[in-house]
Chains A and B, each alone.
Chain A
Protein backbone atom coordinates (compact mmCIF):
# COMPACT_ATOMS: atom_id res chain seq x y z
CA UNK A 1 0.00 0.00 0.00
CA UNK A 2 2.99 2.33 0.44
CA UNK A 3 3.35 2.84 -3.30
CA UNK A 4 -0.32 3.78 -3.47
CA UNK A 5 0.07 6.47 -0.82
CA UNK A 6 3.25 7.69 -2.52
CA UNK A 7 1.42 8.00 -5.84
CA UNK A 8 -1.38 9.88 -4.09
CA UNK A 9 1.20 12.27 -2.69
CA UNK A 10 2.64 12.61 -6.20
CA UNK A 11 -0.81 13.42 -7.56
CA UNK A 12 -1.32 15.96 -4.82
CA UNK A 13 1.98 17.65 -5.56
CA UNK A 14 1.37 17.55 -9.34
CA UNK A 15 -1.70 19.78 -9.05
CA UNK A 16 -0.77 22.80 -6.94
CA UNK A 17 -2.97 23.47 -3.92
CA UNK A 18 -4.11 26.83 -5.25
CA UNK A 19 -4.98 25.70 -8.83
CA UNK A 20 -8.66 24.84 -9.41
CA UNK A 21 -9.45 21.13 -9.51
CA UNK A 22 -10.44 19.98 -13.00
CA UNK A 23 -12.35 16.90 -14.13
CA UNK A 24 -9.17 15.23 -15.53
CA UNK A 25 -7.60 15.67 -12.05
CA UNK A 26 -10.54 13.84 -10.51
CA UNK A 27 -10.38 11.04 -13.10
CA UNK A 28 -6.64 10.72 -12.42
CA UNK A 29 -7.54 10.19 -8.75
CA UNK A 30 -10.16 7.60 -9.77
CA UNK A 31 -7.61 5.76 -11.95
CA UNK A 32 -4.95 5.75 -9.23
CA UNK A 33 -7.52 4.49 -6.68
CA UNK A 34 -8.67 1.86 -9.18
CA UNK A 35 -5.14 0.48 -9.65
CA UNK A 36 -4.22 0.56 -5.95
CA UNK A 37 -7.56 -0.95 -4.85
CA UNK A 38 -7.39 -3.67 -7.52
CA UNK A 39 -4.22 -5.01 -5.87
CA UNK A 40 -5.92 -5.11 -2.45
CA UNK A 41 -9.11 -6.68 -3.88
CA UNK A 42 -7.06 -9.39 -5.62
CA UNK A 43 -5.33 -10.21 -2.31
CA UNK A 44 -8.64 -10.42 -0.41
CA UNK A 45 -10.43 -12.29 -3.16
CA UNK A 46 -7.63 -14.86 -3.44
CA UNK A 47 -8.22 -15.89 0.17
CA UNK A 48 -12.03 -15.89 -0.24
CA UNK A 49 -11.65 -18.03 -3.36
CA UNK A 50 -9.31 -20.60 -1.83
CA UNK A 51 -11.47 -20.88 1.30
CA UNK A 52 -14.51 -21.36 -0.94
CA UNK A 53 -12.89 -24.04 -3.07
CA UNK A 54 -11.07 -25.94 -0.30
CA UNK A 55 -13.45 -25.62 2.67
CA UNK A 56 -16.85 -24.53 1.40
CA UNK A 57 -18.47 -21.51 -0.18
CA UNK A 58 -20.94 -20.99 2.64
CA UNK A 59 -18.16 -20.43 5.20
CA UNK A 60 -16.17 -18.28 2.80
CA UNK A 61 -19.11 -16.03 1.93
CA UNK A 62 -20.29 -15.77 5.56
CA UNK A 63 -16.79 -14.59 6.55
CA UNK A 64 -16.59 -12.15 3.65
CA UNK A 65 -20.06 -10.72 4.29
CA UNK A 66 -19.37 -10.39 8.03
CA UNK A 67 -16.19 -8.49 7.18
CA UNK A 68 -18.07 -6.20 4.78
CA UNK A 69 -20.62 -5.50 7.53
CA UNK A 70 -17.82 -4.75 10.02
CA UNK A 71 -16.17 -2.48 7.45
CA UNK A 72 -19.43 -0.65 6.80
CA UNK A 73 -19.83 -0.15 10.56
CA UNK A 74 -16.27 1.14 10.97
CA UNK A 75 -16.38 3.43 7.93
CA UNK A 76 -19.92 4.60 8.79
CA UNK A 77 -18.92 5.41 12.38
CA UNK A 78 -15.51 6.94 11.81
CA UNK A 79 -15.86 8.32 8.28
CA UNK A 80 -12.66 9.96 7.05
CA UNK A 81 -11.29 9.88 10.63
CA UNK A 82 -10.67 6.15 10.03
CA UNK A 83 -7.16 7.06 8.84
CA UNK A 84 -6.36 8.47 12.28
CA UNK A 85 -8.27 5.97 14.44
CA UNK A 86 -7.63 2.53 12.98
CA UNK A 87 -4.12 1.22 13.84
CA UNK A 88 -3.58 -0.35 10.42
CA UNK A 89 0.01 -1.48 11.14
CA UNK A 90 -1.03 -3.27 14.35
CA UNK A 91 -3.90 -4.90 12.45
CA UNK A 92 -1.54 -6.00 9.65
CA UNK A 93 0.83 -7.53 12.20
CA UNK A 94 -1.98 -9.38 14.03
CA UNK A 95 -3.61 -10.73 10.85
CA UNK A 96 -0.19 -11.53 9.35
CA UNK A 97 0.89 -13.60 12.36
CA UNK A 98 -2.43 -15.49 12.47
CA UNK A 99 -2.19 -16.23 8.73
CA UNK A 100 1.40 -17.50 9.13
CA UNK A 101 0.20 -19.83 11.93
CA UNK A 102 -2.71 -21.13 9.82
CA UNK A 103 -0.54 -21.38 6.70
CA UNK A 104 2.28 -23.30 8.38
CA UNK A 105 -0.22 -25.76 9.86
CA UNK A 106 -1.64 -26.48 6.38
CA UNK A 107 1.77 -26.59 4.70
CA UNK A 108 3.07 -29.04 7.31
CA UNK A 109 0.16 -31.44 6.76
CA UNK A 110 0.42 -31.25 2.97
CA UNK A 111 4.22 -31.74 2.94
CA UNK A 112 3.91 -34.76 5.27
CA UNK A 113 1.32 -36.26 2.91
CA UNK A 114 3.41 -35.60 -0.20
CA UNK A 115 6.47 -37.19 1.42
CA UNK A 116 4.46 -40.26 2.46
CA UNK A 117 4.99 -39.70 6.20
CA UNK A 118 1.33 -38.95 6.89
CA UNK A 119 -1.31 -41.46 5.95
CA UNK A 120 -3.85 -40.18 3.50
CA UNK A 121 -6.51 -42.16 5.34
CA UNK A 122 -6.80 -39.87 8.31
CA UNK A 123 -10.10 -38.62 9.75
CA UNK A 124 -10.33 -35.80 7.25
CA UNK A 125 -9.76 -38.13 4.33
CA UNK A 126 -12.37 -40.57 5.62
CA UNK A 127 -14.85 -37.70 5.91
CA UNK A 128 -14.00 -36.63 2.35
CA UNK A 129 -14.48 -40.21 1.10
CA UNK A 130 -17.91 -40.35 2.74
CA UNK A 131 -18.82 -37.03 1.14
CA UNK A 132 -17.69 -38.38 -2.25
CA UNK A 133 -19.87 -41.48 -1.74
CA UNK A 134 -22.86 -39.29 -0.92
CA UNK A 135 -22.20 -37.17 -4.00
CA UNK A 136 -21.83 -40.33 -6.13
CA UNK A 137 -25.30 -41.43 -4.96
CA UNK A 138 -26.62 -38.14 -6.29
CA UNK A 139 -27.50 -36.89 -2.80
CA UNK A 140 -26.47 -33.53 -1.43
CA UNK A 141 -25.44 -32.44 2.04
CA UNK A 142 -25.91 -28.84 3.12
CA UNK A 143 -22.38 -27.55 3.78
CA UNK A 144 -21.92 -26.68 7.46
CA UNK A 145 -20.34 -23.43 8.59
CA UNK A 146 -16.65 -24.06 9.18
CA UNK A 147 -15.26 -21.60 11.80
CA UNK A 148 -11.75 -21.87 10.32
CA UNK A 149 -12.99 -20.89 6.86
CA UNK A 150 -15.18 -18.07 8.20
CA UNK A 151 -12.28 -16.65 10.24
CA UNK A 152 -9.84 -16.76 7.32
CA UNK A 153 -12.22 -15.13 4.91
CA UNK A 154 -13.30 -12.52 7.50
CA UNK A 155 -9.76 -11.45 8.41
CA UNK A 156 -8.57 -11.17 4.82
CA UNK A 157 -11.57 -9.16 3.67
CA UNK A 158 -11.53 -6.90 6.75
CA UNK A 159 -7.82 -6.09 6.45
CA UNK A 160 -7.86 -5.52 2.69
CA UNK A 161 -11.17 -3.65 2.90
CA UNK A 162 -9.64 -1.30 5.46
CA UNK A 163 -6.68 -0.78 3.15
CA UNK A 164 -9.06 0.08 0.31
CA UNK A 165 -10.84 2.55 2.62
CA UNK A 166 -7.46 4.11 3.44
CA UNK A 167 -6.62 4.36 -0.26
CA UNK A 168 -9.94 6.01 -1.10
CA UNK A 169 -9.62 8.54 1.73
CA UNK A 170 -5.92 9.37 1.27
CA UNK A 171 -6.19 9.58 -2.53
CA UNK A 172 -9.43 11.57 -2.39
CA UNK A 173 -8.18 14.01 0.23
CA UNK A 174 -4.80 14.49 -1.48
CA UNK A 175 -6.23 16.56 -4.34
CA UNK A 176 -7.07 19.71 -2.32
CA UNK A 177 -8.89 20.58 0.89
CA UNK A 178 -11.79 22.29 -0.92
CA UNK A 179 -12.39 19.45 -3.36
CA UNK A 180 -11.71 16.55 -1.01
CA UNK A 181 -15.38 15.43 -1.06
CA UNK A 182 -15.33 15.17 -4.87
CA UNK A 183 -11.89 13.55 -4.71
CA UNK A 184 -13.10 10.90 -2.25
CA UNK A 185 -16.19 10.26 -4.41
CA UNK A 186 -14.06 9.72 -7.55
CA UNK A 187 -11.57 7.56 -5.64
CA UNK A 188 -14.52 5.50 -4.35
CA UNK A 189 -15.77 5.05 -7.94
CA UNK A 190 -12.32 3.80 -8.99
CA UNK A 191 -12.18 1.38 -6.03
CA UNK A 192 -15.73 0.11 -6.66
CA UNK A 193 -15.00 -0.61 -10.34
CA UNK A 194 -11.82 -2.46 -9.32
CA UNK A 195 -13.81 -4.52 -6.79
CA UNK A 196 -16.47 -5.48 -9.34
CA UNK A 197 -13.88 -6.46 -11.97
CA UNK A 198 -11.91 -8.60 -9.50
CA UNK A 199 -15.09 -10.40 -8.37
CA UNK A 200 -16.08 -11.05 -12.03
CA UNK A 201 -12.61 -12.41 -12.81
CA UNK A 202 -12.83 -14.62 -9.70
CA UNK A 203 -16.20 -16.05 -10.76
CA UNK A 204 -14.68 -16.96 -14.15
CA UNK A 205 -11.70 -18.85 -12.66
CA UNK A 206 -13.78 -20.56 -9.95
CA UNK A 207 -14.91 -23.44 -12.20
CA UNK A 208 -11.42 -24.53 -13.43
CA UNK A 209 -10.15 -24.40 -9.84
CA UNK A 210 -12.65 -27.03 -8.68
CA UNK A 211 -10.94 -29.59 -10.99
CA UNK A 212 -7.61 -29.35 -9.13
CA UNK A 213 -7.07 -32.27 -6.65
CA UNK A 214 -8.12 -31.29 -3.13
CA UNK A 215 -4.79 -32.09 -1.46
CA UNK A 216 -2.93 -29.95 -4.01
CA UNK A 217 -5.36 -27.09 -3.44
CA UNK A 218 -4.89 -27.33 0.31
CA UNK A 219 -1.13 -27.24 -0.14
CA UNK A 220 -1.44 -24.17 -2.37
CA UNK A 221 -3.70 -22.53 0.23
CA UNK A 222 -1.08 -23.19 2.92
CA UNK A 223 1.62 -21.60 0.76
CA UNK A 224 -0.58 -18.61 -0.04
CA UNK A 225 -1.63 -18.03 3.57
CA UNK A 226 2.00 -18.21 4.69
CA UNK A 227 3.05 -15.82 1.90
CA UNK A 228 0.32 -13.26 2.63
CA UNK A 229 0.95 -13.66 6.37
CA UNK A 230 4.71 -13.07 5.97
CA UNK A 231 4.05 -10.02 3.79
CA UNK A 232 1.52 -8.42 6.14
CA UNK A 233 3.41 -9.25 9.35
CA UNK A 234 6.57 -7.53 8.05
CA UNK A 235 4.49 -4.56 6.84
CA UNK A 236 3.02 -4.42 10.35
CA UNK A 237 6.53 -3.67 11.60
CA UNK A 238 6.73 -0.83 9.08
CA UNK A 239 8.93 -2.81 6.69
CA UNK A 240 8.73 -1.82 2.99
CA UNK A 241 9.07 -4.89 0.77
CA UNK A 242 11.09 -4.51 -2.44
CA UNK A 243 8.63 -4.03 -5.38
CA UNK A 244 5.84 -3.43 -2.79
CA UNK A 245 2.81 -5.75 -3.31
CA UNK A 246 4.53 -7.34 -6.33
CA UNK A 247 6.77 -9.15 -3.82
CA UNK A 248 3.88 -11.47 -2.84
CA UNK A 249 4.32 -13.73 -5.94
CA UNK A 250 8.07 -13.87 -5.15
CA UNK A 251 7.22 -15.02 -1.60
CA UNK A 252 4.90 -17.68 -3.05
CA UNK A 253 7.72 -18.97 -5.30
CA UNK A 254 10.17 -19.01 -2.35
CA UNK A 255 7.77 -21.09 -0.22
CA UNK A 256 6.92 -23.42 -3.12
CA UNK A 257 10.62 -24.10 -3.76
CA UNK A 258 11.28 -24.61 -0.05
CA UNK A 259 8.35 -27.05 0.15
CA UNK A 260 9.69 -29.01 -2.83
CA UNK A 261 13.11 -29.27 -1.15
CA UNK A 262 11.51 -30.31 2.15
CA UNK A 263 9.42 -33.03 0.47
CA UNK A 264 12.54 -34.37 -1.29
CA UNK A 265 14.53 -34.32 1.99
CA UNK A 266 11.76 -36.11 3.92
CA UNK A 267 11.40 -38.77 1.21
CA UNK A 268 15.15 -39.43 1.36
CA UNK A 269 15.07 -39.67 5.17
CA UNK A 270 12.11 -42.05 5.02
CA UNK A 271 13.95 -44.30 2.54
CA UNK A 272 17.10 -44.30 4.68
CA UNK A 273 15.14 -45.10 7.86
CA UNK A 274 13.31 -47.91 6.11
CA UNK A 275 16.60 -49.34 4.79
CA UNK A 276 18.13 -49.19 8.29
CA UNK A 277 15.04 -50.82 9.81
CA UNK A 278 15.05 -53.69 7.26
CA UNK A 279 18.80 -54.26 7.83
CA UNK A 280 18.19 -54.39 11.59
CA UNK A 281 15.26 -56.78 11.12
CA UNK A 282 17.39 -59.06 8.91
CA UNK A 283 20.20 -59.04 11.50
CA UNK A 284 17.79 -59.92 14.32
CA UNK A 285 16.23 -62.74 12.26
CA UNK A 286 19.68 -64.14 11.42
CA UNK A 287 20.67 -63.98 15.09
CA UNK A 288 17.46 -65.75 16.16
CA UNK A 289 17.99 -68.46 13.56
CA UNK A 290 21.55 -68.98 14.79
CA UNK A 291 20.31 -69.32 18.40
CA UNK A 292 17.65 -71.86 17.41
CA UNK A 293 20.18 -74.02 15.48
CA UNK A 294 21.54 -76.98 17.57
Chain B
Protein backbone atom coordinates (compact mmCIF):
# COMPACT_ATOMS: atom_id res chain seq x y z
CA UNK B 1 0.00 0.00 0.00
CA UNK B 2 2.84 2.36 0.88
CA UNK B 3 4.49 1.63 -2.48
CA UNK B 4 1.25 2.38 -4.35
CA UNK B 5 0.82 5.62 -2.43
CA UNK B 6 4.42 6.61 -3.18
CA UNK B 7 3.89 5.95 -6.92
CA UNK B 8 0.60 7.88 -6.83
CA UNK B 9 2.24 10.86 -5.11
CA UNK B 10 5.21 10.71 -7.47
CA UNK B 11 3.14 10.70 -10.66
CA UNK B 12 0.17 12.87 -9.87
CA UNK B 13 -0.73 13.32 -6.17
CA UNK B 14 -4.23 14.53 -7.03
CA UNK B 15 -7.27 12.26 -7.21
CA UNK B 16 -9.30 14.58 -9.47
CA UNK B 17 -6.51 14.72 -12.06
CA UNK B 18 -5.91 10.94 -11.90
CA UNK B 19 -9.57 9.90 -12.13
CA UNK B 20 -10.38 12.62 -14.67
CA UNK B 21 -7.57 11.62 -17.03
CA UNK B 22 -8.37 7.90 -16.65
CA UNK B 23 -12.05 8.54 -17.49
CA UNK B 24 -11.01 10.55 -20.57
CA UNK B 25 -8.67 7.78 -21.73
CA UNK B 26 -11.41 5.18 -21.22
CA UNK B 27 -13.89 7.32 -23.17
CA UNK B 28 -11.42 7.82 -26.01
CA UNK B 29 -10.68 4.09 -26.05
CA UNK B 30 -14.41 3.42 -26.46
CA UNK B 31 -14.68 6.01 -29.24
CA UNK B 32 -11.67 4.61 -31.08
CA UNK B 33 -12.18 0.87 -30.63
CA UNK B 34 -15.98 0.43 -30.76
CA UNK B 35 -17.21 0.59 -34.34
CA UNK B 36 -20.55 2.24 -33.41
CA UNK B 37 -18.60 5.34 -32.33
CA UNK B 38 -16.43 5.44 -35.47
CA UNK B 39 -17.92 8.78 -36.67
CA UNK B 40 -16.62 10.42 -33.46
CA UNK B 41 -12.99 9.40 -34.09
CA UNK B 42 -12.32 12.66 -35.94
CA UNK B 43 -12.89 14.68 -32.78
CA UNK B 44 -10.47 12.70 -30.58
CA UNK B 45 -8.08 15.66 -30.37
CA UNK B 46 -10.76 18.21 -29.49
CA UNK B 47 -12.28 15.88 -26.87
CA UNK B 48 -8.87 15.32 -25.28
CA UNK B 49 -8.01 19.04 -25.13
CA UNK B 50 -11.41 19.97 -23.66
CA UNK B 51 -11.26 17.11 -21.16
CA UNK B 52 -7.78 18.12 -19.99
CA UNK B 53 -8.98 21.70 -19.49
CA UNK B 54 -12.08 20.49 -17.59
CA UNK B 55 -9.92 18.33 -15.31
CA UNK B 56 -7.59 21.27 -14.64
CA UNK B 57 -10.52 23.59 -13.89
CA UNK B 58 -12.12 21.02 -11.57
CA UNK B 59 -8.98 20.45 -9.51
CA UNK B 60 -8.30 24.21 -9.28
CA UNK B 61 -11.89 24.84 -8.18
CA UNK B 62 -11.55 22.22 -5.44
CA UNK B 63 -8.26 23.77 -4.23
CA UNK B 64 -9.81 27.25 -4.29
CA UNK B 65 -12.80 26.07 -2.23
CA UNK B 66 -10.44 24.40 0.22
CA UNK B 67 -8.52 27.64 0.67
CA UNK B 68 -11.76 29.55 1.23
A residues near B (Cβ < 8 Å) are 93, 97-98, 100-102, 104-105, 107-108, 111-112, 115, 117-118, 147-148, 226, 230, 233-234, 237-239, 241-242, 247, 251, 254-255, 258, 262, 266, 269-270, 273
Closest 7 CB pairs of A and B: A239-B44, A101-B12, A237-B32, A104-B17, A234-B45, A117-B67, A273-B68
Question: Across the two chains, which residue of chain B brings its CB closest to A117?
Answer: B67
B:1-49 near A, CB below 8 Å:
10-14, 17-18, 21, 25, 28-29, 32, 41, 44-45, 48-49
> Which A residues are CB-close (under 8 A) to B45?
230, 234, 239, 241-242, 247
* Cβ A258 vs Cβ B14 within 8 A: no
B residues near A (Cβ < 8 Å) are 10-14, 17-18, 21, 25, 28-29, 32, 41, 44-45, 48-49, 52-53, 55-57, 59-60, 63-64, 67-68
Question: Across the two chains, which residue of chain B brings its CB closest to A226?
Answer: B52
CA distance A117 to B45 in the complex (A): 31
Most chain B CB atoms below 10 A, which of A115, A118, A234: A234
* Cβ A108 vs Cβ B44 within 8 A: no
CA distance A255 to B55 in the complex (A): 13
List 26 A-B pairs, Cβ < 8 Å.
A97-B25, A100-B21, A101-B11, A102-B11, A102-B12, A104-B12, A104-B14, A104-B59, A105-B14, A105-B17, A107-B56, A108-B14, A108-B59, A111-B60, A112-B60, A233-B28, A234-B44, A234-B45, A237-B32, A237-B44, A238-B41, A251-B49, A258-B53, A262-B56, A269-B64, A270-B67
CA distance A269 to B57 in the complex (A): 13
> Which A residues are CB-close (under 8 A) to B57?
262
* Cβ B60 vs Cβ A104 within 8 A: no
CA distance A239 to B44 in the complex (A): 7
Q: Apart from A100-B52, A108-B14, A108-B60, what 13 extra A-B contacts exist at CB < 8 Å?
A: A101-B11, A101-B17, A104-B56, A105-B11, A105-B14, A107-B56, A117-B67, A118-B63, A234-B45, A238-B41, A241-B45, A251-B49, A254-B49
> Which B residues are CB-close (under 8 A) to A254?
49
Shortest B40–chain A CB gap in Å is 11
* Cβ A117 vs Cβ B10 within 8 A: no
Shortest B25–chain A CB gap in Å is 6
* Cβ A117 vs Cβ B63 within 8 A: yes
* Cβ B32 vs Cβ A238 within 8 A: yes
CA distance A247 to B49 in the complex (A): 12
* Cβ B49 vs Cβ A108 within 8 A: no
Most chain A CB atoms below 10 A, which of B10, B49, B57: B49
